Structure formats: structure tokens, C-alpha cells
Amino acid sequence: MTKPFNPFEMAQAQFDRVADLLGLDQATRELLRWPLREYQFAIPVRMDDGTVRVFRGFRVQHNDARGPNKGGIRFHPNETLDTVRALATWMTWKCAVVDIPLGGGKGGVVCDPHQLSLREQEAICRGWVRQLSKNVGYLQDVPAPDVMTNPQHMLWMMDEIEVLHGQKEPGFITGKPVGSGGSLGRTEATGYGVIYTVREALRLLGLDPASMTASVQGFGNVAQFAVQLFTQYGGRVVCVSCWDHADRTSYSFRRPSGITYEELIGITDRFGTVDKLKAKTLGYEILPGDAWIEQAVDVLIPAAIENQVTADTARRIHQKVKLVAEGANGPTTPEADAILQERGIYVIPDFLCNAGGVTCSYFEQVQGNMNFFWPKHEVLERLDAVMTRAFHAVADLAKTKQLYTRDAAYVIAINRVANACRLRGWV
């Protein structure tokens, strides 16, 4: 019987591998291998039909040696504590690898917003904040949107914390709507950050981004803006996949001549589900959801959920593929890593590749605390500079020390966090 996938066990295995490379002492290993703090709580909500439902909420704060914790809040019917633990751990390394002064946090609620009214969703948001009001904030832990949460959810949460504390706290949460404390460029940030690193990786490999083809898993926020910028650089995206909430399965949409972002976004709902009938009329082939990974392209971009590039699926990757850019968190298992490494496929690891979101969230937090907001071009220029610098630091270390890129990124990130813990006298 196959053991169920546990993302936190994968996160710990990745850490253990690099802890061995670094020769970390036992105390530091124990400190960094587990979160510093975990919160589990109940959120009672009176539903529209008058009944009361109790939703389970989580917040995990992995490590704040380098600054306040930072990380999104997920609404998902299959959310688990171990998923949140893994994501909080990866957030610590993500903030460290791009060298922003934040630690790693993550939150979640076990719910399906598709089955909830806006009023019920608002009640969950405000209830989540009430449970954690003494343990979050711009000096402690700064939440943000994640899977199936959005700027409206963040604004409800900010409003609740301000009511509870009796003061304005625009830096409490990021991913808010522009005009209500949000930053220009935040919507594009994660997807654009993915492609900034893809651009640099292709150049490093001696390849012209304008002549490259790509296949993308997912068509939510990250994938949408990755597709947009990749095509703006002259590349051609030939396939995307998405989850269909109506029949609860996934599909891939392929058009060899290339996908037009503006065209596809016009037939996509707010949850990233593409209309199959309209796609057919536009000349798209409708394929099984996992077909994205088999495409004869130069670049694969998993930008959906964890555990997608496994030992089984990695063997189906076409021989033409030169680069895997992990727009999602934890999409590649350690077993698949070994296959990619053996085949010589260049991998941009998730906590570097998709760090554009947290970087721009940091920018939003800074702007909110200053009450002074930058123009969009300045936000994206700063984002490009941070992502490019971080990519080359990892690439240079990988080349110098003959390390796999994921290991090189971990070496940089874990070293920075471990040093911060030592300087504070924690270990």
C-alpha cells in the first residue's frame, strides 16, 4: 500500500540533506527542523441558513530569527496541519534565499469557498483574526493571500484587527486591494518573478528566451502572469492545465501555435477554470490534466500544487525539456529530483522561483508602514533586481561547489537562518 504524501516530511527530508552538507550541529538541526510555534483553533460561523458550522483554522510560525514571520492563508477543504507546517518551513527558506528580513509563516482554514457565500467567507476571515489577534501583526507575523483567498479576504482581516486593536495597521497583512493599502504590481509579482528567473536561467544555458516554448501546470494567478510575461519576452506557451471545479477533475489545453494570454483569460473564471466549450471553439485541444508534463517543449512550469513532479511523472518528461521552473510550492519530490538531476535538466527550485510574491508582499508591508506607495514600474524594477540577484547567487554557488541547484539554494537560505539563530544566542 502506497504511503500518503506528506509535504512536511518532504520539507524535513530536504532540510536533512542540506544539514548534512553544512555539518549543522544537533541543536541547530532540531531548532530549524520544526516550527517554533503552532496554533490550531475552531472558528464557529453562523451560516446563511441559521445553522452554526465550526471550521478548523491553523497558523504555523516556523522561524523568526531574521524578522517577523510572513506567509499566506489558504482556504482549502483538504487543508492539513502538516501542509501548513511544510509551507511555513519553505517560507523561511524563501525569505532567506532572496535575503529579505522576514521569517516563515503559513495559515489555513479547512473550508471550500466555492460552497460559501461572501458573508460566510467574511465571517471565517474575521473569526480567524479574532483567534490570533495577539499572535500576528507587522512586528510578529504578517499574513497574505494564498490558495483560494484573495484581496477582499485580506481587507476583511485587516479591518477586524483594526477594530480589535483600535488603531490603523496597514502593515498587518499584505495582498490587499490597491487603494486600500495594497501595492501596485503585487498581482503580477509571483508569476513575473518566476519568469525573471526563467529568463536568467535560459541566458545562463546560452538560450534565447524569445525562441523557447513552454508548458504550464495551472492557470491561477501565478500561471496567468507567468504566461503573460513569457510571451512578452517572445516565448511561446503551447499548453496549460487547470482544475475544473464543476466536475472536480483537471484538464490540459493545448494549441501548438501558442496560447494568447488575453484570449485565454477571457474564458477563465475567477478561480482559474477555463471554459472547455469556448476553448474548443478557439482551436484548443482538450487533454487529460496531466498531459502538460509530456509536452515537447523547452520549459516546464509546474504552477499549481505540491507533489506533481513525482518519480512516475518525471519519467514522462519529454527529452526536449531543458528547464523546470517551480512556480508552485513543493511540486517536485526528492525521487523526481534524482531523475531530473540524472537527465541534466536545470531546475529553478520553488522557494527561489516563486519568491516574487513574498518579495512584493514585503514591499507592500514597507509601503504600508511608511504610508507612502511606489509606482508600479518601480515595484517591478525592484522585484526584478531582487529575483535576478538571488538567482545568480544560487547559480554561482551551484557551479562553484558542483551542487544541484535546489541544494545550493538551501545552503544559502539555511546558512543565513542558522547564522541569525547563532547571533541571537538561540543555539
Strands 141-145 and 299-302, by their bridges, are unpaired
Question: Is residue 106 among the annotated active site residues?
Answer: yes
Distances in Å between the alpha carbon of 140 and those of 14, 84, 214, 229? 27, 18, 40, 34
CA angle 149, 274, 296 (to 5 degrees): 110
* Mean pLDDT, rounded, for 208-213: 93
Counting residues of the chain whose pLDDT is more than 70, the rounded percentage is 98
35-182 matches 187-353 in fold: yes
In the structure, what pLDDT confidence band is assigned to residue 4 with cuts at 50, 70 and 90?
confident
Catalytic residue among 94, 106, 176, 322: 106
What contacts 329, CB < 8 A, 6 or more positions away?
Answer: 86, 87, 90, 305, 306, 350, 351, 354
**Per-residue pLDDT, 414:** 97
In the structure, what pLDDT confidence band is assigned to residue 218 with cuts at 50, 70 and 90?
confident
**Per-residue pLDDT, 205:** 95
Residue 164 has pLDDT above 60, yes or no: yes
Please write the tens of the pLDDT for every residue from 296-306: 999 999 998 77
**Per-residue pLDDT, 427:** 93
DSSP result, 85-111: HHHHHHHHHHHHHTT-S-EEEEEEEE-
Residue 285 has pLDDT above 90, yes or no: no
Find the range with the poorest average confidence among 7-11, 156-160, 405-409: 7-11
Length of the chain as a residue count? 427
Cβ atoms of residues 18 and 414 within 8 Å: yes
Cβ atoms of residues 241 and 223 within 8 Å: no
**Per-residue pLDDT, 356:** 96
The region, left, alpha or beta by phi > 0 then psi within -120 to 50, assigned to residue 327 is alpha
User: CATH homologous superfamily of domain 35-182?
Assistant: Leucine Dehydrogenase, chain A, domain 1 (3.40.50.10860)
**Per-residue pLDDT, 373:** 95
| Domain 187-353 annotated CATH 3.40.50.720 | yes
* Mean pLDDT, rounded, for 298-315: 87
**Per-residue pLDDT, 1:** 56
What is the overall mean pLDDT for the chain?
A: 92
Which of the two residues, 397 and 273, has the higher pLDDT score?
A: 397
**Per-residue pLDDT, 307:** 76
Please write the tens of the pLDDT for every residue from 106-140: 999 999 998 999 999 999 999 999 999 999 988 99
Please write the tens of the pLDDT for every residue from 252-275: 888 898 988 888 888 887 767 787
List the beta bridge partners of residue 182.
178
**Per-residue pLDDT, 245:** 63
- Domain ranges for the chain: 35-182, 187-353
Please write the tens of the pLDDT for every residue from 57-92: 999 999 999 999 999 999 999 999 999 999 999 999
Q: Computed from CA positions of residues 257, 261, 266, 270, in that sequence, does the dihedral angle turn out positive or negative?
A: positive
Residue 246 has pLDDT above 70, yes or no: no
**Per-residue pLDDT, 276:** 75
How far is 80 from 94, CA to CA, in rounded Å?
21
Provide the whole-model pTM: 0.90
How far is 46 from 235, CA to CA, in rounded Å?
49
**Nearest Cα to Cα of residue 231 among 207, 253, 259:** 259
* Mean pLDDT, rounded, for 197-215: 95
